Amino acid sequence: MNAPEESAGPGWAPGLAHRTRDVPPVEFQARVHPDDFRVEEIPAFAPAGEGDHVLFEIEKVGLGTPQAIGALARVLGVAPARIGCAGLKDAGAVARQWLSVEGPSLSAVEAAAAPGVRVLRAARHPHKLRVGKLLGNRFELVLRGLDARGHEHAARVLVRLSASGLPNYFGPQRFGRRGETWKLGAALLVGPADYLAELARQAAGDAGAGPAAELMGALGATRRGEHRRLARLAPRLEPELAAVARQLARRPLDLRSAARAVPKTVRRFHFSALQARAFNRVLAARIDEIDRLAPGDVAFVHASGAAFPVEELGPLAARVARFELSPSGPISGRRLLAASGAPGAVEARALAAEGLDVPLPASRLGFDARGARRPLRVPLAELEARAAGPLLSLRFRLPPGSYASALLEELGKAGTALQSPPPQAR
């Protein structure tokens, strides 16, 4: 049930194991130019042509989705919360995705532009775009600096993954620039004091200086006056920490209410990074089994997203071979459909390692963590590979929530998914 011994692995994937670890690493450079990494969202529906909202497609370069939304919100004169999206797209890519907004005119949306983001097309629609409302994403990647042996190894990896599926790791970009977002989720489980301290520590950075460090030092105050003075510090802080400082100034020494001042969506994002790390633990332990079910597994139905406990393996083998079903891993929560037997034991160890093996009431987190199942593999669909001298061009499609960096990791086996700073527009 466990993969062969590997190193402790990176913070985003403890015990990281590769499906193609018998194939030597491919040496290449990724994301040298903005056009080297392109992603296009596949929408679940087309604009209706009428309604109170505007559905519009953007192209962004060097910006994450939240930053692009913030920039467009300022241009359109609306709060960022008024803009809906179906998914988050990497800052280190030329990305096309759909957004929606209620309020501005169609012409205002069509004309909207900001550094690094432009509107491609827009039309009226009856409702706001919600997270998850997409069919998947198409990727175009250019890898540079390959030699003949590198092309040979890459071809072996692609053939193998086309047959067995791509390991469905949450990529390192899911865990923030420093790869430490999961630590905020872990601190949430401990309590508000730990969460606020970790939030301030990460904002202060390695230097441990600046306004975030001042806030961190004030969190342990025992006198109300020390917290009331934080109101003067708030304008110098990032938005989440500014909200914390203002709340402590209003309600000194009440760390619980200060933690709740961080927007629920942000706190949920921090916690979901911890859930993702636990899932990656399970996947690493079961890397050799992603294309077959075991007794006690919870099977994932790719067509519908449903999941069910496996009782009899025989009738399901053909469906697994057709990529209709796959084994799944846990996204922890109060309604998680848990595996049993050997798969259940792997999951229990992974959840315990992250402190997620206990009930998670909404009153403790400040939001509801229901739980879900995520497939251990996904199809590497519509794959095209073209070698040209030192270049390898790849085109493929992945389901929503899956990461192209998982393919880069299988090729390079670097433990970093070969991340690089977001490229700047040329």
Please give the Cα distance from 343 to 154 (Å, whole number).
Answer: 31
Please give the Cα distance from 151 to 168 (Å, whole number).
Answer: 23
CA nearest 405: which of 244, 175, 171?
Answer: 171
Please give the Cα distance from 357 to 191 (Å, whole number).
Answer: 16
Return the biggest CA–CA distance within the chain: 69
Please give the Cα distance from 305 to 300 (Å, whole number).
Answer: 7
- Residues 91, 67 contacting (CB under 8 angstroms): yes
Count how many Cα atoms sit within 13 Å of the Cα of residue 169 in the half-sphere of its side chain: 32
CA nearest 272: which of 345, 202, 184?
Answer: 184
Please give the Cα distance from 127 to 50 (Å, whole number).
Answer: 10
Burial (0-12, 13-18, 19+ Cβ within 10 Å), 362: exposed
Strand partners, 331: 372
Angle in degrees, 0-180, between the axes of helices 148-164 and 405-412, rounded to the nearest 10: 130
Q: Which long-range contacts (CB under 8 A, 24 or more apart) does 305-313 make?
A: 307/337, 307/373, 309/337, 309/339, 309/340
Could you give the strand order of the β-sheet that contains 298-301, starting from the edge strand earlier in sequence? 307-309, 298-301, 325-331, 372-375
Residue 195 CA, distance from chain mean position = 20
At 197, give phi and psi (nearest 5°): -65, -40
Instruction: Find the catalytic residue in 22, 35, 36, 90.
Output: 90
Strand partners, 55: 100, 123
Q: Provide the pairing of β-strand 94-102 with 37-43.
A: parallel
Please give the Cα distance from 325 to 321 (Å, whole number).
Answer: 8
Consecutive H or E run containing 244:
helix 239-250
Please give the Cα distance from 223 to 417 (Å, whole number).
Answer: 47
90 flagged as catalytic = yes
CA nearest 229: which of 210, 209, 250, 212?
Answer: 250
- Residues tagged active-site: 90
